[in-house]
Amino acid sequence: MAFTFAAFCYIAALIFTAVLIFFVIFHIIAFDELKTDYKNPIDQCNSLNPLVLPEYAIQILYTVLFVFAWQLGSVLFNLPLLVYHVRRYMNRPVMSSPGLYDPTTIMNADELNRAQREGWVKLAFYLISFFYYLYSMIYVLVSN
Amino acid sequence: MADPRLAFGTNFQPNRPPGPQPVPNPGFPTNQQHAAPGMPPKMGMPQGPPGQFSGGPQPPLPPMTGAPSGPPFSGMPPPLHGNMPPQGGPRPPVNGFSSPPSMQPPGSGVTRTPGPPSGMMGSAASSAGPGNVNVSSPQIRGPFNPQVSQTGQMLNGPTSQTTVNGYQSVQGGLPPSSQGQQYTGPPIQPGGPPMGGPAPNFRPPGPPTHGGPPLQGPPSVRPPGPSLPPVSAGQGHPSMRPSGPGQPPPIVSAGQGPPTIRPPGPGQPPPVVSAGQGPPTMRPPGPGQPPPNVSAGQGPPTMRPPGLGQPPPTVLGSQGMGAPPGSGPPLRPPGPPGPPLPQGQHTSRPNELPVPYHGHGQYSHQVGPTMNLTPGLTPGSGNHGIEPASQKSSRAPSPIANQIYDDMEGQFAPSPQGMTPVSSPPGSAAPPSQDMSRTTGITGRRQYPQMPSNSMPAPQGQQGYQGPPQGYQPTGAPAYQPSSTQGYQPTGAPAYQPSSTQGYQPTGAPAYQPSSTQGYQPTGAPAYQPGTAPGYQPTSTQGYQPSSTTGYQPSSTQGYQPGGAPQYQAPSLSQGYQGPPQPGYSQMPGGQPAPGPMSGPAGGYQPGGGSSNPNDILSNFSNMGVDDSQRFLNLMQERRLIPTDGLETVKPGFQHDFKKVNCNPDIFRCTLNAIPQTSSLLNKARLPLGIIIHPFKDLSEDEEDGQLPVIQSSVIVRCRSCRTYINPFVHFVDQRRWKCNLCYRVNDLPDEFSFDPVSKTYGDPQRRPEVKSATIEFIAPSEYMLRPPQPAVYVFLLDVSFNAIETGYLQLFCQVLLDELDKVPGDTRTQIAFLAYDRFLYFFGLAEGQSQPQMMVVPDLEDIFLPCPDNLLVNLSESKDLVIDLLNQLPTLFQDNRETGSALGAALQASFKLASGSGGRVTVMQTVLPTVGPGALQAREMPSNVSAKNVPHLGPATDFYKKLALDCSAQQISVDLFLLNGQYADLATLTCVSKYSAGCVYYYPSFHTLKTPGLVDRFDADFRRYLTRKIGFEAVMRIRCTRGLSIHTFHGNFFVRSTDLLSLPNINPDAGFGMQMSIEDNLTDTSSVCFQAALLYTSSKGERRIRVHTLCLPVTNQLSDVYAGADQQGIICLLAKMAVDRSVSSSMGDARDALINAALDCLLSYRQQVPASQRMGALPLPFTLRILPLYILAMLKSSAFRSATNVKLDDRVFSLLQCKTLPLMYLMQSFYPHLYPVHSIEERTTMTRGGLVIPKPPLLQLSSANIDRHGAYLMDVGNDLYLMVGGAISDQFCQDILDKPNFMSIPEGMNDLPETENPSSERLRNFINYLMDSRPYGASFLVLREDSKNRQLFFQHMVEDKTESSMSYYEFLQYLQQRTKS
């Protein structure tokens, strides 16, 4: 039983993941509001866009931590999402500010549906991640 | 590349058959031969044989082919006639019947199995495959029943009487068949007739089914009831039918479809033939002839009884008519008489008994598969179907116009045909007749598949017809025809029925032949001929009948018939159809001549229709279109797709009053006029669902219904839950409550609403204009204002850089604005400001009280501020003198400007600040790429290193302009761009500022006041219109739709503020929008859906107004209805918009693939609806979608989607933008320009507008095959008009029109016509002026010599031609066909 770097990584990831879960829930709610006409797409995009890069950064951060801790299983687990994030951001619409969502196209049903689906999938992923990290943390702590 | 399919939206993608994977290449396999050109027309015949006939068919073909067959036919006809007279012969039919029965049993068994209705269905399905048919059948049936019953009685009567025994027996056997056919009754007879059997069947069924089938439309329609009654003929049915109650006979119509279908059974055709012959054999019983009749179809019944055919003949006649195939021919024969079409036809028809044959033939084909039996059956059904249709149509018509017509016709036709067939048999000619029938039948169907076959069918038809006609004619065909054609439906039907009924029944059995014949003939024949016969024969024979049979009838029955039917039948059928036939016919006629009477008509027709102009044919087609909504065409053989007077507009097929009040399709239309009930059905159809709207269209310009009711009331009645405005489609629960048609909530009606302002009394709320008009405008009370209505605010941004001054536009701008200053919409509050810019900004102080305008220069672009903000935006009326002063000075003020930079971004920001307090309109004149300050851009266009497949830089380079546009939008400012750049100006980026602020964009590439006079004219006209047109400020538009539907994507210039709300800072009368819809929930619990667009805006007078458009459409669960209701223009329009999105979001290559896949999807899915036998070598597509591949090819060749690299990026971007914003009719024209022959303009019909006589030249299709060196052609591309003068033009023309002695002296670049004093010049100038005045924007005019170096301007629009990098239309079809196979 020792508090290794790996254990630290898992604890950090656990906290980060909790934060990401809140991000995703906010994302889902925001798009639901758009769909039900509660909000103006410009306002909604203005509130959503600043959160995109932090979310990506956090996810990349703990993935990198896992690399340093040589937790390959966790790295592999996160790799697909990381790649998706990078690609998604590279293909974003022409924008001068950070973010992904363009108020002129966000109301397109395809875009809305995609964003909502993405939100739900990510929520599921982060929830699973959360428990996986919790388990891994305990495992690491115990096994050492 | 992304999956092209995806491109199109959900609808498309899902279903796309994987099979046809898009071959990216547009290059497409070209195959081969262009033969296409030649092919098309005649092709029908030739091709038909090959593809169409699978062999079996071939036999028929010969006949079809026309010439060969022709003779025989002709021979036949005579025989028929002979028969006719002999009608006694017909009786034989009776015998024949009996025999037929035997025949039928088998056949019928097969076909009929389905039971009457099912039979219809089945047959339809099998033969035509046309789901439509089936569909229609059902409908028909409903209606039919009545008719059927009547007819049945009639028939029964007749049959029973004479044939009765035989029949019955037959029937026994037949029943099955008949059922299959739908004709229950018929079956019986049919069995006999099948030929003979048919006759009996016919009546009963025939009328319904048979007639129906062929005519489908008609049948179905008929069924509707109204017709039916007339059908009274039906009466006979009842009795007959009883057995046949099957009546479904109505189904028969369906049956007809089958007939059509049969084609597949080409092999069968032989049977048919055999039938024909066989019939004889069979007939031996009798009536060999009867058999013939039978074959004819319907005739059988009649025939039989009569036995003769004569009576039958009459009937036959009708039947023939009814039977698309058969009838068609018959009609035509009459047709020749053509002019008289109706009458002539009728007459002919009588003679045409043969027609029945045709029908039979068809049936046989259909049956074919089933085998002999089928023949018998088929004949019956087929003919019946057809004939019935005709008869019914005639009768039906009376009740309802077109629709009924068709339906009626379908029903009627059967019986008539039956008769005819019979008669023909008698005709000794039995053999001949048989041949005829066979040919017809076979050809008809088979040809159908092929489409082209027209000629084929026609021949047959004619022959057959002729025969019948003769016989018929005697009776009254003539009279009939007239009525049927035109008035038929209305009057005809009733009259008919009675007569027929009576005649039949009474005489029926006993006298049958004689009496019935007569009686019948009159009715039946006429009816038939008019409706079905004419039209049918040509087209129907081949492609048409089948389709029509199947699909059409149904559709027509319901919605279509009403609208188009009338016209269709008359015009289209007779003419259009005939046209096609004619070619083939010509020969036929020859043969027919024998028939004498008939031939006369026939000949007349053919000539008229066929020979005459392609145009005529087209027109016919178009007409047919309506009826034949359910028809399908074989594109490989149908070359003339566009009627000479323009494409028809499909209207929703409502059975009741909704139709009358529905929104004008120019304003609001849906791509599908029958909404699929479920999204899976929509996916099956592979058609895009969406609406195309032109909400602020100038209604005053619309002569027809320019009346826009404007209501000022304190209470605007709206649904309390969904806020829908009350509209004509709501349901009034009682006097005090109404039920919303979008959310189904029941709302209270305010007391005020029952008050009629006109009579000043309280009463029925239905008197209110809100409930009477689908387009209405309210003057809104204060609840609809967030702030006091804004004044009209205009800001002009003028580029005064060196480049701009060089173009000389400034002078023109100032001049036009001075001219129009008093006409600019507004009131006393109107405000105006001017701002010039190059590298700096120049503001002009115009404050009241100043002696002269004061110019302020602002060099600081980074932090824009307004010098003396109060004096920049001034009241126009108060500072008018200063404004005029400024406009006079402006051109000289900057004439020596050498500054080349352009600070557009900063200027826009400044104007935003200027107008942000009030909102308004900013007009930008830009001539170069902005290079300075915020929003500076760089040239991105890379010359010629681009692969043909992908075009980069279609999207914006920066979001500066988009963000600015959103800011403007929030402040109710809209930015309009006039782009006069000579070099690349990055439209893709610049236009964002207009795109999201609901502005508009005008583009004049390389504008120069001296070098491009054409553009100057256009700019002048456009700018004048722009300044003076109506304008709405601070607008929003909300689109509501019935629960279950939702808006998927928006297309146009605006900002989408929520799922159904568009923010439109300005709305102008030239802006069009499109929305893709998706079906979220099944629409099973509703029979109609509504779309409501409400546009809330502030008028230039400061009034808040709401303009509401409501569109109501029926819901269907039948694929055939979906096809029948497809609005091809709307679909093309929506596809273009979807492709634009795809090209920007993905790539141009993907967009092109997606377009091709859209056509392919449609072809593949429709293919499933067509019986396999008809698919061979054919490219079937419903009549309502016939131009889809053509326009998709045109789109692929347009500057927007062309793969060639020689299109400037800016030109392409502008074209893409136009696809998004142009109203439908102008967008269609930009893809496929209008081409008119003007060398003989005086020969054309004219119309009168404002006291001027305007000639109306026919439209030509854009193929160089239509260009003659001896002619002169006017092409109307929308923005440009080109007059192409052929190298061998007469000197007279040059002298009269161009004021030049000869072709060689015509100068290059002539852009005006001299006003020479002679009638032809006046006509042409009137016509050109009319064209230019009838569009909301300017157009340049240019005379091009055929040998001009600029002739490419003209020939690049010939989209059906092959070019180095693109396929010809025929190659494109071949490519599609190849893809559908793989």
Please give, rounded to a whole number of angstroms, the shortest distance from the CA of A58 to a CA of chain B: 27
Give the least confident one: A106-110, B1023-1027, B1378-1382. B1378-1382
Buried b (16+ CB within 10 A) or exposed e, B784-819: eeeeebbbbbbbbbbbbbbbbbebbbbebbbebbee
Per-residue pLDDT of B531-567, as tens digits, reads 333 333 333 333 333 333 333 333 333 333 333 333 3
B1049/A103 touch (CB, cutoff 8 Å), yes or no: no
Question: Is 60 exceeded by the pLDDT of residue B17?
Answer: no
Question: Is 60 exceeded by the pLDDT of residue B1342?
Answer: yes
Structure token pair of residue B488: 């038929």
Instruction: Give me the pLDDT at residue B992, please.
Output: 93
Q: What is the mean pLDDT of chain A?
A: 92
The residue that leads in pLDDT, B1055 or B699, is B1055
Per-residue pLDDT of B55-114, as tens digits, reads 333 333 333 333 333 333 333 333 333 333 333 333 333 333 333 333 333 333 333 333
Question: Is 80 exceeded by the pLDDT of residue B605?
Answer: no
B1049/A41 touch (CB, cutoff 8 Å), yes or no: no
- Check CB contact of B1048 with chain A, cutoff 8 Å: yes
Q: Residue range B600-608: average pLDDT?
A: 30
Of chain B residues 972-1001, which have a CB less than 8 A from chain A? Answer: 996
CA dist B414 and B147 (Å) reads 12
Question: Is 70 exceeded by the pLDDT of residue B367?
Answer: no
Nearest chain A residue to B1051 by CA distance is A108
Residue numbers in B near A34 (CB within 8 A): 1058-1059
Question: Is 80 exceeded by the pLDDT of residue B903?
Answer: yes
CA dist B229 and B1251 (Å) reads 46
Question: Is 50 exceeded by the pLDDT of residue B216?
Answer: no
Read off the amino acid at residue B302. Answer: T
B1058/A109 touch (CB, cutoff 8 Å), yes or no: no
- Check CB contact of B1254 with chain A, cutoff 8 Å: no
Structure token pair of residue B1030: 């109506």
A37/B959 touch (CB, cutoff 8 Å), yes or no: no
Greatest mean pLDDT range, B102-111, B366-375, B933-942, B996-1005: B996-1005
Closest CA to B1217 of B1140, B1129, B1150, B1130: B1140
Per-residue pLDDT of B757-771, as tens digits, reads 666 777 777 778 888
Please give, rounded to a whole number of angstroms, the shortest distance from the CA of A65 to a CA of chain B: 36
Per-residue pLDDT of B1195-1229, as tens digits, reads 999 989 988 777 888 999 999 999 999 999 899 99
Q: Residue range B1307-1319: average pLDDT?
A: 83
The residue that leads in pLDDT, B596 or A39, is A39
Per-residue pLDDT of B626-637, as tens digits, reads 444 456 777 777
Instruction: Give me the pLDDT at residue B210, please.
Output: 38
Nearest chain A residue to B9 by CA distance is A110
Instruction: Give me the pLDDT at residue A57, please.
Output: 95
* Pairing relationship of beta strands B831-837 and B841-845 according to DSSP bridges: antiparallel
Contact between residue B331 and residue B465 where contact means Cβ atoms under 8 Å apart: yes
The residue that leads in pLDDT, A49 or B364, is A49
Residue numbers in B near A99 (CB within 8 A): none
Question: Is 60 exceeded by the pLDDT of residue B282?
Answer: no
- Check CB contact of B1059 with chain A, cutoff 8 Å: yes
Instruction: Give me the pLDDT at residue B654, please.
Output: 66
Contact between residue B306 and residue B91 where contact means Cβ atoms under 8 Å apart: yes
Question: Is 80 exceeded by the pLDDT of residue B1293?
Answer: yes
Nearest chain B residue to A110 by CA distance is B1048
Question: Is 90 exceeded by the pLDDT of residue B1052?
Answer: yes
Question: Is 80 exceeded by the pLDDT of residue B251?
Answer: no
The residue that leads in pLDDT, B321 or A68, is A68
The residue that leads in pLDDT, B824 or B128, is B824
Nearest chain A residue to B960 by CA distance is A96
Greatest mean pLDDT range, B188-192, B1156-1160, B1349-1353: B1156-1160
Per-residue pLDDT of B463-493, as tens digits, reads 333 333 333 333 333 333 333 333 333 333 3
Instruction: Give me the pLDDT at residue A137, please.
Output: 92
Instruction: Give me the pLDDT at residue B47, please.
Output: 36
Question: Is 60 exceeded by the pLDDT of residue B1152?
Answer: yes
Greatest mean pLDDT range, B473-487, B789-803, B865-879: B789-803
Please give, rounded to a whole number of angstroms, the shortest distance from the CA of A24 to a CA of chain B: 22
Nearest chain B residue to A33 by CA distance is B1058
Instruction: Give me the pLDDT at residue B189, please.
Output: 35
Instruction: Give me the pLDDT at residue B1320, please.
Output: 83
Structure token pair of residue B544: 């048409």
Residues from A contacting B (CB-CB < 8 Å) are: 34-37, 40-42, 93-96, 102-104, 107-110
Instruction: Give me the pLDDT at residue B1024, please.
Output: 93
Q: Residue range B995-1013: average pLDDT?
A: 92
Residue numbers in B near A95 (CB within 8 A): 959
Read off the amino acid at residue B26. Answer: P
Rounded (10°) CA dihedral B180, B186, B192, B196: -120
Question: Is 70 exceeded by the pLDDT of residue B1124?
Answer: yes
Contact between residue B528 and residue B211 where contact means Cβ atoms under 8 Å apart: yes
Determine what percent of chain B is predicted with pLDDT higher than 90. Answer: 24
Question: Is 70 exceeded by the pLDDT of residue B347?
Answer: no
Instruction: Spell out where B1136-1257 has E strands.
Output: 1180-1182, 1234-1237, 1246-1249, 1252-1255
Please give, rounded to a whole number of angstroms, the shortest distance from the CA of A100 to a CA of chain B: 13
Please give, rounded to a whole number of angstroms, the shortest distance from the CA of B1102 to a CA of chain A: 27
**Which candidate from A35, A41, A109 shows the least CB-CB separation from B1057?**
A41
Question: Is 50 exceeded by the pLDDT of residue B649?
Answer: yes
Structure token pair of residue B876: 């126009």
Instruction: Give me the pLDDT at residue B700, please.
Output: 63
CA dist B429 and B592 (Å) reads 13
B750: left (phi over 0), alpha (psi -120 to 50) or beta: beta
Nearest chain B residue to A32 by CA distance is B1059
Instruction: Give me the pLDDT at residue B630, please.
Output: 55
Question: Is 90 exceeded by the pLDDT of residue B1054?
Answer: yes
Q: What is the ipTM of this complex?
A: 0.93
Residue from B953, B997, B1045, B1049 to probe the interface with A (highest A Cβ count within 10 Å)? B1049
Q: What is the mean pLDDT of chain B?
A: 63
CA dist B843 and B909 (Å) reads 13
CA dist A79 and A125 (Å) reads 12
Instruction: Give me the pLDDT at residue B1196, please.
Output: 92
Strand, coil or helix: B1327 = helix
Closest CA to A114 of A84, A136, A144: A84
Per-residue pLDDT of B1131-1143, as tens digits, reads 999 999 999 999 9
